[in-house]
Chains A and B, each alone.
Chain A
Amino acid sequence: MYRSKVDGYVGTGLAMVGGVCTLLVLTIALFLLRESWSVVQGVGLRRFLTDSAWNPTEKRFGLAPMLLASVATAIGAIVIAAPLGIGSAIYSRFYAGRQAARIQRAIVTLMAGIPSVVFGLWGLVALVPLINKIMPPGTSLLAAMLVLALMILPTVALTADAALATVPMPLQQGAAALGLSREAMIAHVLVPAARSGIVAGILLSLGRALGETMAVLMVAGNVVQVPTSVFEPVRTLTANVALEMAYAVGDHRASLFVSGLALTLIVAALAVASWRLSEARSHG
C-alpha cells in the first residue's frame, strides 16, 4: 500500500515514541530485578516467606507478616468501600434527581482528586484519636482500613457508576414493563447486568489499596507483627519500603526491592484480571 513519505516518517517517529513506553516497562522490570538480584541469589526467595522475623541487618528476611498486613488492610478497605461506593453509584444513577446526582458525582470526583497524604493526615489527626478512645494505641489495622477505604471509595463509585451506565436501555424498559419495583429492578436486573464492570472496578481498587503507601504508613502504627485484632498496629509492605529505604544498604536494600517486585506482580495480576473482565464484558 502506498503511503505518503511524510506519513512514513511520522509513523516511524511515533513507533519510536510508543516504543519508549514498552522500553520503560522493561527497564523498570530490569532494575527491580538487578537491584534485588544479590539477595535473591544469596538468600533465596523462600526465606522471605519462612523467616520468622524481619531484621535484614541480622540476615532475617521474614516478609510474611507485612505481606499479610498488606492483604488484610486492602481486603478490609474493599469490604468497607465496596458497599458504600456501589450504593453511592446506585443512588446517583437511579434515585437522585438531576441536581442531587450531579452533586453526588461531584463529591466522588473531588474525593478522587484528594492526595493520599491528605487522607493520611486527616486519618492521623481526626480518626486515630477516636480509635484510641475505644482501644489504644489508635494507630492500627482498623485505622489503615478506614483511611484506605475512604481513598478507594471514589474508584469503586466511579467504576460502578460507569458500569451501570452501560446497562442497555431496553433492559431497563423491559424490566419496568414487567411491573417490577425500582428496587427489584436494581437488585435483579441492573446490578447483575453491570456485575462484571463493577467487579472489574473492585479489583482495580484492590490493586490501588495494595499499592498505597503514604496514607497507610501514616495511620497503621508500623509495627512488624501478625495482628490478632483490628486494633493492633501493623506494617504493610509498602510502608516498610518507605520507612527503611532511606538508610538501607546491601542485602537490606535488595530485600526492599524484592518486596517492591512482589507488590508489582500482585498488583499487575489484579490489573490483568480486571482488564480481562472488562474485555469479556465488551465482547460478550
Chain B
Amino acid sequence: MMHAVQRSFSERAPPLACCTSDACEPVCDCNTVIKAECVSLSYGGRPALQDVDLSFQRHAVTAIIGPSGCGKSSFLATLNRLTDMVPGCEVDGKIAFCGRDIRDPSLDVRILRTRVGMIFQRANPFPLSIRKNIEMPLRECGVSDRVEREQRVHDVLVEVGLWHEVRDRLDKPALGLSGGQQQRLCIARALALRPEVLLMDEPCSALDPISSGVVEDLILNLRGRVTIAIVTHNLAQARRVGDHLAVFWVVDGVGRLIESGRAADVFASPSHPTTAQYLSGARG
C-alpha cells in the first residue's frame, strides 16, 4: 500500500534533475515548495521530534526558532535527507518537495541535495582553492561546460558580495578566508547549484556581529529568489529576516512544533502561551 502511494508520487512529477545549463527550469512553480506532514524522528529508538506539520512557501524566508534540543536542526536535516548519514536516525512521516516524496527510494538523494542546499552552523569550506570550492560540486553534478562553470563562479560570488573581496585570489586556499567570508563562500557554493531551497542551520551563530550582519543582509537579498528555511537562536534575527515563523518546543521530552504562521502575526499575537512567554523573554 505504502509502495503504491510512493509510486503515484513519482509518476505525477517528472524526476528531479540537476541544473546543468543556464536554461534549466525551476523544479516547480507551486506555492508550497516543501510540505512536511506528520514528521517524526528518533535517534536509536529514542524519539527526538514528533508529528511536525510545516510547509515552506515559495521564495519566502521561514525562521525556525526554539530552545536548544527541541529538534529544530534535526528537522532541517530531514528536509534534504542529511539524516541518512546519522547512524540510528529514523525518520517517519511524509515530506514532499515540489510534489515529490523525498523519501521515495527511487529518488536520487544527491540530486535532491543539489536542489535543496544546506548551510551549516560552522562554515565548512573544503581545503581547496576558493574557485575549486564552487567549481568542483558543479562539475560533480554534471555542469561539464567550463565557460558555464566560470560564469556561475563569478555570478554567485557577486551575489554573496565576495567577488570584489576575492577576485584577485580565487586560486588561494579557501581556508585562508575570514569566518564570515568562509560562510558566504559556503552560501555561494550552494547557490551555484541553483537550488530551489536553502536550508540554513544557525548560519550566523559562529560569526562575529559584523559578519553576522553581512550574512543576514545576504539572506534578505535572497528572499524572493530562493526559498529559505533558517534555524536561529536569535529572536531578533528571526524577526528581521522571517516572513514566516515556526516555534519548536520540548513537550514531555520530545521536540514538537507548537506554533507556526506569518511572522508578523505570531510576534504580534502568539496563540500558544509558551510561545508568548518565549517571545517575551520569560522562557527559553
Q: In the complex they form, do A and B come into direct contact, defined as C-beta atoms under 8 angstroms apart? A: yes
Interface string of A1-27 (1 = CB under 8 A from B): 110100000000000000000000000
Is B22 close to A, CB under 8 A? Answer: no
A4 touches B110 (CB 8 A): yes
- Nearest Cβ in chain B — how far from A92, in angstroms? 32
With the chains together, A2 CA to B108 CA distance in Å? 6
Q: Is B54 an interface residue (CB 8 A)?
A: no
Q: What per-residue 1/0 map shows which CB atoms of B102-117 lie under 8 Å from chain A?
A: 0001111110000000
B84 at the interface (CB under 8 A from A): yes
Within 8 A of A (CB), among B183-218: none
The number of chain B residues with a CB under 8 A from chain A is 7
- In the docked arrangement, what's the CA distance between A127 and B264, Å? 87
Residues of chain B within 8 A (CB-CB) of A2 are 105-109
Q: Per-residue CB proximity of B35-48 to A under 8 Å, as 1/0? A: 00000000000000
A1 engages B108 (CB within 8 Å): no
Output the least CB separation between A271 and chain B (Å). Answer: 27
What is the chain A residue whose CB lies nearest that of B106?
A2
Q: Interface size of A by Cβ–Cβ distance < 8 Å? A: 3
State in angstroms the CA–CA spacing of A4 and B84 once bound together: 14
Residue of A nearest to B112 (CB): A2
B108 touches A4 (CB 8 A): yes
Contacts of B84 in A (CB 8 A): 1
A2 to B102, CA, bound (A): 11
In the complex, which residues of chain B have a beta carbon less than 8 angstroms from the beta carbon of A4? 108, 110
Contact with A along B100-138 (1 / 0, CB 8 A): 000001111110000000000000000000000000000
Contact with A along B150-171 (1 / 0, CB 8 A): 0000000000000000000000
- Chain A residues whose C-beta falls within 8 Å of the C-beta of B106 in the assembled complex: 2
Alpha-carbon distance between A1 and B112 when the two chains are bound, in angstroms: 13
Besides A1-B109, A2-B105, A2-B108, 7 other CB < 8 A contacts? A1-B84, A1-B105, A2-B106, A2-B107, A2-B109, A4-B108, A4-B110
> Which 10 residue pairs across A and B have the least CB separation, nearest first?
A2-B109, A2-B105, A4-B110, A2-B108, A1-B84, A2-B107, A2-B106, A4-B108, A1-B105, A1-B109
10 example contacts (A-B, Cβ-Cβ < 8 A) are as follows A1-B84, A1-B105, A1-B109, A2-B105, A2-B106, A2-B107, A2-B108, A2-B109, A4-B108, A4-B110
